[in-house]
Amino acid sequence: MQRIFKYVVHRERESMKVSGKRWILHNGRGDEFSIWNVSDIHFGNKACAIDEFIKDRETILNDPFAFFVGGGDYCLPIDAEILTKNGFKKYNELCKDDEVLGYNGVNTVWTKLLGVYYNENCELNLLKSQTFEILATDNHHWIVSDTHEKRRKFHKEKWPKKIATKNLKTHHRILLASPCLENGNLDITDDEAWLLGWVVTDGWISKHKYNSLVIGIAQSNKKYALEIESRLNQYITKNYLQKDGSSNFNISIPKVRKICNKMNIEPYEIKQKIEWIVCNISVSAREAMFDAMLKAEGWIENGRYRFAQKRGTVLNAFLILCVLKGIRIGNSKERNDNVVTVGLMKRGHYVTVADLKMSKDVFMPVWCPRTELGSWIYKYKNQVGITGNCEYISCTDSRFDPDCVSDFVKIKDLGRLGKTFTEGVRELFKPIKHKCLGLLYGNHELKYEKWQEQQGLHEWLCTELGVPNLGYSALFDVVFERGKVKEPVLKFEASKTINYHHSQSFRFYVHHGAGFSTTPAGKLTRLIRFMSYFDANVFMTGHVHDQEGRRMVEIGADSTCTKLIEKHKLGIISGSYLKTYEENVTTYGEQRGYEPTVLGASKVILLPQAKNPKDRIRGEI
């Protein structure tokens, strides 16, 4: 070269992490440091070589001159309640044996609960009309039909179907109610159910002296008082009028106890167990109880029935009766004394999407069950309706195989695999967190968090360990500074007495890795591209489950642009801790015919005080 020119090129800044400097204090001139690229652990898979990882971890822990970068692929409205055979439950009250109400395409039926998904922070959409209100994520699914009758008739095979919130159109209508025609197992007659309906609403169950029980019903409506006197005559021991003209009926304790014996409960537990009772009696008994409760606490206003009751089991029981009858509940109102008024929609089981106002609302914790039918009954703000499951790739992705999931994963964890595995990774990294230069996340975490509405797992992991979050790729400097320390110490702030004459800086570019190549040349090509894109000394990638390395020399000029200088670059691809072939496990890699994985991490050896720049960096794979 005969002439050297100096010029500047301005480029648009890439969307990546520029993660600042790390300082490593040490006291020796000839100290040799190793920076490990710990990538592709795939914790939670039975084919994960966890013993190999622990061996590398112990090496890093016991070597005072060893540090590491995490390369990714470590793993993969709370207010809403679900209707079970024991009544409404919150997500943390569910058990694996719970039966829940779902929709089979014709009616609501009892089905099995398969899992529960939880996300600590997710964006919710507000769907609202005059008679409907709910918060839901973009990927939450609804049972939907077409508003056009002709299209429904000519394309019966298409409707109803499940559609995500983000894909709802104005010609859609959301199904919220459908009757359940299944009988329960409790042997309760219609008259007994009618009696219980009156007792829990306009009645009382109280204890007197010596634990004696008093059960009664009060009714001011003369028409209903006469009906009670006639239909419940066999249960009434005394009937008397109050000064205000209302009728009081004392109910036979032995006869109520006989009813309770069939349910294996005590009389004073009736209100406490009323949700369970409602879910387990016959269809005709439910009709009778609904009739009694509506007459006791209901009235007609503007052509619609209203029902009022304090928040609690009795209100929940009435809502369940509406669900099982296929009656849609509208918006509710609540007074300061906790009395809730709900409206019964007299026509239609649907809410039309065209009537809804949809807007992004808040970030908050969310949850969603997974059921055998892919649907369930929710209760939110005293409003109930049919809804679908979310889509969670953790259990339905083509790469997901239950036989490959580690034995420590329990049934209750199936709905929160991301959180469960991330907690496990936290425990793996804890012993060496003080040696961590930062953590990347990989394609598996990115895909899981993006599509499964469980964002924030990687940020949580970094916060728990107290290490920098490097995102998917990052540039950062490692500065080696000589000082009076017994062993090397990693710091993220410069010391006040730093002597730049005794320090040496190395720039790192780290990326989880990319591409689908299975050949050594293809894997190296991707690494070489990274090395040509960025100005750095050390390049670290992973993803392809192989150990490869590449040294490159870049020709440049000195600060005055009068002398040629060499800049040495070293790139490494880290191996994986996921075995391609493992006994008694059919892995995704085995199905695709991939070559056996090179287990373990690659590392870069740095000699900060070496005189020749070429000797300051070398790789070990």
Contact between residue 320 and residue 87 where contact means Cβ atoms under 8 Å apart: yes
Contact between residue 313 and residue 271 where contact means Cβ atoms under 8 Å apart: yes
Which fold would CATH assign to domain 190-344? Endonuclease I-creI (3.10.28)
Question: Residue 186: what residue type?
Answer: L
The pLDDT, as a whole number, for residue 267 is 92
Residue pLDDT, tens place only, 422-452: 777 888 889 999 999 988 877 655 555 544 4
Instruction: Quickly state the pLDDT bin for 251 (edges 50, 70, 90).
Output: very high
Q: What tokens does 73 get? A: 């692929």
Angle at 374 between CA 368 and CA 376, to 5 degrees: 60
Q: Please indicate whether residue 514 or residue 113 has the higher confidence score (pLDDT).
A: 113
Question: Which residues lie below 8 Å from residue 397, measured CB to CB, with a gap of 6+?
Answer: none
As a whole number, mean pLDDT of residues 94-114 equals 87
The pLDDT, as a whole number, for residue 44 is 57
The pLDDT, as a whole number, for residue 13 is 34
The share of the chain scoring above pLDDT 90, in percent, equals 28
Kindly give the pairing relationship between strand 66-70 and strand 436-440. Answer: parallel
**SS3 assignment for 3-43:** CCCCCCCCCCCCCCEEEEEEEEEECCCCCCEEEEEECCCCC
- Residue 525 host element (H or E): helix 520-533
The domain locations on the chain are 21-75+405-620, 81-178+352-380, 190-344
Q: Pinpoint the alpha helices (H) of 89-240.
A: 149-154, 190-202, 222-231
Q: What is the pTM of this model?
A: 0.55
**SS3 assignment for 131-166:** CCEEEECCCCEEEEEECCHHHHHHCHHHCCEEEEHH
As a whole number, mean pLDDT of residues 91-117 equals 85
Main-chain dihedrals φ then ψ at residue 524, nearest 5 degrees: -70, -35
Please return the burial class of 334, using the count of CB atoms within 10 Å of its CB with bins 0-12, 13-18 and 19+. Answer: middle
Strand, coil or helix: 108: strand
Which fold would CATH assign to domain 81-178+352-380? Endonuclease - Pi-scei; Chain A, domain 1 (2.170.16)
Q: What tokens does 136 get? A: 């839901």
Main-chain dihedrals φ then ψ at residue 331, nearest 5 degrees: -65, 150
The pLDDT, as a whole number, for residue 158 is 66
Q: Please indicate whether residue 621 or residue 33 has the higher confidence score (pLDDT).
A: 33
Q: How many helices (H) and strands (E) does the chain have?
A: 14, 33
- Range in 229-243, 295-309, 462-476 the model is least confident about: 462-476
Residue that the structure tokens 């740095």 belong to: 606
The pLDDT, as a whole number, for residue 361 is 66
The pLDDT, as a whole number, for residue 261 is 95
The pLDDT, as a whole number, for residue 265 is 94
**264 Rama class: left (phi>0) / alpha (psi -120 to 50) / beta:** left
Residue pLDDT, tens place only, 271-300: 999 999 999 999 999 999 999 999 999 999
Residue pLDDT, tens place only, 313-331: 999 999 999 999 999 988 8
Main-chain dihedrals φ then ψ at residue 350, nearest 5 degrees: -120, 160
151 vs 154: CA distance, rounded Å:
5
Instruction: Give the number of other CB atoms < 10 A from CB of residue 540.
Output: 31
Kindly give the pairing relationship between strand 617-620 and strand 81-84. Answer: unpaired
Q: What tokens does 133 get? A: 């209100």
**SS3 assignment for 574-610:** CCECECCCECCECCHHHHHCCCCCCECCEEEEECCCC
Which fold would CATH assign to domain 21-75+405-620? Purple Acid Phosphatase; chain A, domain 2 (3.60.21)
Strands (E), 265-401: 298-301, 304-310, 329-334, 339-344, 350-352, 357-371, 375-380, 383-388
Question: Which residues lie below 8 Å from residue 21, measured CB to CB, with a gap of 6+?
Answer: 476, 477, 478, 479, 492, 494, 505
Indicate if the pLDDT at residue 561 is higher than 80. Answer: yes
Instruction: Quickly state the pLDDT bin for 419 (edges 50, 70, 90).
Output: low
Indicate if the pLDDT at residue 157 is higher than 90. Answer: no
Rounded to the nearest 10 degrees, the angle between the axes of helix 313-325 and helix 190-202 is 140
- Range in 248-262, 357-371, 565-579 the model is least confident about: 357-371
Rounded to the nearest 10 degrees, the angle between the axes of helix 253-263 and helix 270-279 is 50
